[in-house]
Amino acid sequence: MKERSALWKERVENAARTHSLTELYRGDHWTQSRRLTAAAATAGFDARLWVASAGLGLQPVSAMAPSYAATFSTRHADSVASSAADSGQWWRHLQEGVGRATLQGLGQGGPVLLVLSEVYAKAMEAELRALGEVASEALMVGGVEEIPGIQRVASDAGLRHALGGTLTSLNARMAASWLQYCEHRRLTSPTTNDSWRKWAASASKPEQHNREPMSDEEVITFIKEQIACSPGISRTRLLRALRDSGRACEQSRFAGLFIRTMGEQ
């Protein structure tokens, strides 16, 4: 693992052509993530956007990098690890190096708002726990489990009725909603917590599943569009996103079409 990650880092650092991360990333999740800085500014915070990348580690959005394909989703062709334990090792190796930013370092500088999927939160668990030990205020939207010192708001698919968007952007939309309730430049005050949770309880609605059948061609088109928007998305999350959009595809059929689509790329 260490040798493989070292080779990966060398190739990234020696790439001839690079782009800003703002140019590299696309899709609904990324669009909503960029809007978080404006939402944070409205709430009174001097916000900076950082990216947690399976290929680059923790980077400011202004950083330059080559086009790449890497994800912590273990069932994806571009997965960097075969298990949660491997993902944690890979993240640690990516983060090694002089001058590397860490969550712990960011937490020492002020409030930290984290928007993380389950697989990324698991890969970054050790660093999250280090953040929890030093942060004055830290909020994680999504994630996989409670971390001491970090307040967590679990992902709630029922809020898509109120917030809109795709399932992949739900955590970012929830974070923006949370910021609307922040007062006096506090990220995790009891008042904000109570106000947001009362709203969420009233707004969350179980999603109806009266889904529309799809042809093979329509499913393949959906898969290609979603992968283009979210390169690291897993097959399971893709099927969930398809069903959440009100369309239907049997699980084994979707799996076959997913494998076929990935093989053509």
CA 64/CA 41 separation, integer angstroms: 24
pLDDT per residue as tens digits for the range 174-222? 999 999 999 999 999 999 999 999 999 999 988 665 678 899 999 999 9
Give this prediction's pTM. 0.78
Q: What is the pLDDT of residue 210?
A: 65
Query: Residues 217-225: contacts with CB within 8 Å, 24+ apart?
Result: 218/247, 219/249, 219/253, 219/254, 219/257, 220/257, 220/260, 220/261, 222/247, 223/257, 223/258, 223/261, 224/261
Q: What is the pLDDT along the chain (265 residues), one digit of tens a residue?
A: 888 888 999 999 999 999 999 999 888 889 999 999 999 999 999 999 999 999 999 999 999 999 998 988 776 777 888 888 899 999 999 999 767 899 999 999 999 999 999 999 999 999 999 999 999 999 999 999 999 999 999 999 999 989 998 888 999 999 999 999 999 999 999 999 999 999 999 999 886 656 788 999 999 999 998 888 777 788 888 898 888 788 889 988 999 999 999 886 5
Beta strand ranges found along the chain (DSSP E):
19-20, 50-53, 57-60, 64-65, 112-116, 138-142, 151-153, 212-213, 247-248
* Residue 68 CB neighbours (<10 A): 16
User: Phi and psi of 170, rounded to 5°?
Assistant: -60, -45
- Block residue for tokens 């952007």: 169
Domain boundaries, the chain: 2-203, 212-264
